[in-house]
Chain A
Amino acid sequence: MKVPVRFSVNGDDRDLYIGAHKTLMEVLRDDLELTGTKEGCGNGNCGACTINLDGKAVNACLILGVEADGHEVQTIEGVSEDGTLHPLQQAFIEESALQCGFCTPGFIMSAKVFLEQNPSPSEQEIRTAIAGNLCRCTGYDKIVRAIQAAAKLA
């Protein structure tokens, strides 16, 4: 069964006709071809599909696409503005905070929402904020440093 939905994605209003059973992650990746949102587990345990929904960091695999109706979604593709990288994106590059990069969009989305709420966090607060995102390459050290660096830049 398909259902009409309308929601804003990265500032654009989108009218879609989507399968009622599709998760928001599937809608973003398959219907909208926004493949920067990654599927690492499909059940909310890895954080690779983290997006910003009305100012909250959520796992897009844990909500249905139809639930996004009327809401505002931001994905990794909407984080840089007019070709200028967001300070977090810049900091991840400069601090070597990524290796394979598969988890990176999810980390940036979690950290962005977090820094908007807590602009000068402690290391422990940063670690708590990204505890829902798994990274297997970096050991988190440089990710934490990148978020610290971005907090200083902003």
Chain B
Amino acid sequence: MTGNGQGNGRNDSVGTSYVKVDAWERVTGRAEYAADVRTPNALHAKVLRSPHPHAIIKSIDVSRAEQLSGVKAIITSKDFPSMDELKDSFGGELMVNARDLRRMVLADDKVLFDGHGVAAVAATSLEIAEAALDLITVEYEILPVINSTADALKPDAPLLHPDVYTKTLKETPDKPSNLASYVESGWGDVDKGFAEAAVIVERSFDSMMVHQGYLEPQACTARWDNEVCTVWTSTQGTFNGQRMVSTLLQVPLHQVNFVPTEIGGGFGGKIYTLVEPIAMLLARKAGRPVKFVMDRSEVFRATGPGSPQQSTVKVGARKDGTIVAAQGSLVMDAGAFPGAPVAGASMVTFGPYKMEHFKLEAYDVVTNKPRVQAYRAPGGTPAAFGVEVVMDEIAEKLGMDPLEFRKINAVSEGDPSTNGRPLPKVGLKEVLGQVEGSPHWNAPLEGENRGRGLALGFWNGAVAMSSATINVNVDGTVEVVSGHVDLTGTRTTMTQMAADMLQLPPERVSARVTDTASGTYTDVTGGSRTVYTQSQAIYNACESVLNEMKALAADQLKLNEDDIEYADGAFSAKGNPETTLSWDELAGRSRTRGNGPISGYGTSGRLKGAPAFAAHLADVEVDPDTGKVKILRYTCFQDVGKAINPAMVEGQIQGGAVQGLGWALSEYYHYEDGKLRNPTLLDYRMLTALDLPMIDTEIVEVPADDSPYGARGVGEVPIIPPAAAVESAIYRAVGVRMTQLPMTPERVFWALHDDGSEQ
């Protein structure tokens, strides 16, 4: 039995690698992404961006730009309705308040990062819009730059915001600060714990700003028809986006329709509405549709990258290998406005481990960089990097195999999670067992400068709200309609699950993602929640459909509803299978008989979390002459609860692992005095096919307590372990501990040639 056992279908459409239902349009170039949308009479938008990371805007003169033939509208932050209060906060994965979101889109009185939007132009062509930017004069008063969290926390540091006071459970301080919030979690008494430890390891770690690196730049088109605005956009959450622009522009929700186009990757970075308000304001001012497509450098400079982190991790263990105390401090860079992924990082940091005494402190700090957004397991990767490296070192100091050490300390059901609440059923021990028996773990690794590393990852799994409507056509085919944006397979899994639950061939089911005007509310697609929560919504909708069909069958067969049973496309009298009506026959009759068209609606209601664990194994070879790290072999082990579509599960794990490997080895924002020097895909180095081997996956299925199949979210966990797995492999290959991400050839080289002098 899986999960709560509701997904009781009888065909094999769940658990098989059903072909992605929207693959055909992708391999033929037909799939329509946001930049592909064509609207008659549309104008093109460009944004003027600040070359300064920190400056007061003294004045903006757009008069010369307005004179340029073809320019139809120019906006600045003054074109937004005024907003004295903070109003709502929005999220998805990372919360942001409305005023900060508005100031992320276009600067108010101050620019806060290199690339901060200052004004926007709509013109009859992109070239004219670009030319108009050159005619806008902005007078800046340049301010000192806060480059890092260390700069920001100096006692005499210049303030980014005069109205940010450190949020903490203690008393609110009387002076504003660049420290936006401070949170503490844990239990027991770590000092007492460390006193009992036989071995203690403490290290500090550092990472840099990274980008989600979705291949499709942000893009949208906005068109006003009288009072109603339609927005075609690439977003992870249409309803969230609709609410954000509704608040920013002070337009009621029913006058904004968000239409999701195909989305070319998001990874957490396409939740905030950074382009839509610009297109909407320009379109309203110009009285024509406006299309706004970011270029790649804008994506790097002015969207929402992943948060850099400085951490200190201290772990103490007894001689028998049990962890007696664990302590961590995470200093997280939020960029220009408060809101670093403190919660996610705090949750992930020591997630896989049982700890007698535990204390974690996390700091949310503002600096002159773009405000971060979620990036796959937000905050988790750099936090787990430090923890896993320290765990590897503790195991070594104890003379213990790193896998054995993990097995001794692995959490299981009932152990306190890092938030203090007991864990539901989880599969970490099963994952570690899978590692132990795997070909990779048991294969010898020979050769010079080669090593193998093991690291763990944990993600609690977001829940939030999902919904779906299921309509039965009169020919018996079925349509699943949902507002859940399909990032990477949602339509396919919805098709599979509905087919399974309705006991119909999946070919007779289709699933569509609708706009906000036609679908019912769902939260964003993100946080490893979609299959988990959507399975429950689909189940509830299917139940409703089956009940309606049974009522119609009872009416037509002149029986009580209780006397009808359904199996494999036929409604029959219990105990009398001769008295039967097929699914198709009933669907046809629904047009004119009974209560009319058959339709069911379901929401995900309230589910528990479905935490997921992974272990990664990396074999590397280090070139001591260059410091270059080559990945020789890589295997991901992950508890997915139930793989609804194993091929898509594998693909998501492989992709997440490779993003993590890029973070480990080559990706970083290169800032020089607040100016981003590498806003291109040449200089921001994401891994290519040539940098990698095949990525092996071993799927473990320990069903989650809740939801019809017990499927756990897959997406986030695989990005967490790679950096530490590679670090531990480097250590075993060449004997140096790396504590900074990324572990570039230069850094590895200098670690190998460290003669004690400053580099």
- Are A and B bound to each other? yes
Residues of A within 8 A of B296 (CB): 40-43, 46
- For residue A153, which residues in chain B have a CB less than 8 angstroms away from its CB? none
A99 to chain B, nearest CB (A): 4
Which listed residue (B17, B31, B654) contacts A138, Cβ 8 A? Answer: B654
In this complex, the member of A33, A100, A128 whose beta carbon has the largest number of chain B beta carbons within 10 angstroms is A100
List chain A residues, Cβ under 8 A from B23. Answer: 92-93, 98, 101
In the complex formed, the residue of B with least CB distance to A34 is B29
B457 to chain A: closest CB distance in Å? 16
Q: Which chain A residues numbered 124 to 146 have a C-beta less than 8 Å away from chain B?
A: 126-128, 130-145
Binary contact track A103-133/B, C-beta < 8 Å → 1, others 0: 1110010000000000000010011101111
Question: A79–B30 Cα gap in the complex (Å)?
Answer: 12
Q: For residue B443, which residues in chain A have a CB less than 8 angstroms away from its CB?
A: none
Residue A89 is within 8 A (CB to CB) of chain B in the complex: yes
Main secondary structure of the interface of A (DSSP, over half): loop
A131 contact from B216, B680, B689, Cβ within 8 A: B689
Give the CA-CA distance A99 to B27 in the complex, in Å.
11
A40 touches B689 (CB 8 A): no
Residue contact A76 to B28, C-beta cutoff 8 Å: yes
On whether the beta carbons of B28 and A89 are closer than 8 Å, the reply is yes
A82 to B630, CA, bound (A): 44
Is B157 part of the binding interface, using a Cβ–Cβ cutoff of 8 Å?
no
Given contacts A43-B682, A130-B689, A137-B651, contact A101 B24 (CB under 8 A): no
B637 to chain A, nearest CB (A): 15
Contact indicator B28/A77 (Cβ below 8 Å): yes
Among the listed B215, B262, B647, B650, which residue makes an inter-chain contact with A135, where contact means beta carbons less than 8 Å apart? Answer: B215
| Contact with B655, one of A36, A136, A145 (Cβ below 8 angstroms) | A136
Q: Tell me whether A75 is interfacial, beta carbon within 8 Å.
A: yes
Bound: A79/B686 CA distance, A: 28
**Chain A residues with CB below 8 A from B263, complex form:** 100
B22 surroundings in chain A (CB, below 8 A): 101
Q: Are B681 and A41 in contact (CB under 8 A)?
A: yes
Contact of B695 among A35, A43, A80, A139 (CB under 8 A): A139
Using A40-B681, A43-B296, A100-B216 as known contacts, say yes or no to A134 and B488 having CB atoms under 8 A apart.
no
Those of B36-81 within 8 Å (CB) of chain A: 36, 38
Q: Chain A, 38-57, contact with B by CB distance < 8 Å: what is the 0/1 string?
A: 11111101101000000000
Looking at the assembled complex, report how far the CB atom of B151 sits from the nearest CB atom of chain A, in whole angstroms.
31
A93 to B492 alpha-carbon distance, docked (Å): 13
Q: Taking CB as reference atom, which chain B residue is nearest A76?
A: B29
Contact indicator per residue, chain B 229-271, by CB within 8 Å of chain A (1) or not (0): 0000000000000000000000000000000001111010000
What bracket does the count of chain A residues touching chain B fall in? 35 or more
Decide: A127 near B689, CB < 8 A? Known: A46-B681, A135-B215.
yes
Whether A85 is near chain B, meaning CB under 8 Å from some CB there, is yes
Chain A residues near B656 (CB-CB < 8 A): 139
A21 CB to closest chain B CB (Å) equals: 8
- Which of A38, A94, A127 contacts B690, CB < 8 Å? A127
CB of B240 to closest CB in A, whole Å: 19
| B residues near A137, Cβ cutoff 8 Å | 265, 488, 651-652, 655
> Would you call B295 and A98 a contact (CB within 8 A)?
no
Which residues in A have their C-beta under 8 angstroms from that of B659?
Answer: 136, 139
> Chain B contacts of A143 at CB under 8 A?
689
B27 and A98 within 8 A (CB):
yes
Using CB atoms, name the residue of chain B closest to A46: B681
CA of A45 to CA of B25, assembled, Å: 24
CA distance A142 to B653 in the complex (A): 12
Residues of A contacting B33 in the complex (Cβ-Cβ under 8 angstroms) = 35, 38, 102
Q: Which residues from chain B contact A80 at a C-beta distance below 8 Å?
A: 28
Q: Which residue of B lies closest to A35 (CB)?
A: B36
Judge if B352 is at the interface, Cβ distance under 8 Å: no
Partner of B680, one of A21, A41, A76, A127: A41
B658 an interface residue at 8 Å Cβ cutoff? Answer: yes
Write out the residue numbers on chain B whose beta carbons fall within 8 Å of the beta carbon of A145. Answer: 694
CA gap between A105 and B33 in the complex, in Å: 13
> In the complex, are the beta carbons of B680 and A35 less than 8 A apart?
no
Which of A43, A88, A89, A102 gathers the greatest number of chain B CB atoms within 10 Å? A102
B35 at the interface (CB under 8 A from A): yes
B positions within 8 Å CB-CB of A: 17, 19-20, 22-33, 35-36, 38, 127, 212-217, 262-265, 267, 293, 295-296, 487-489, 647-648, 650-652, 654-659, 680-682, 686, 688-690, 692, 694-695
List A residues at the B interface (Cβ < 8 Å): 19, 21, 29, 33-43, 45-46, 48, 75-77, 79-80, 85, 88-89, 92-96, 98-105, 108, 123, 126-128, 130-145
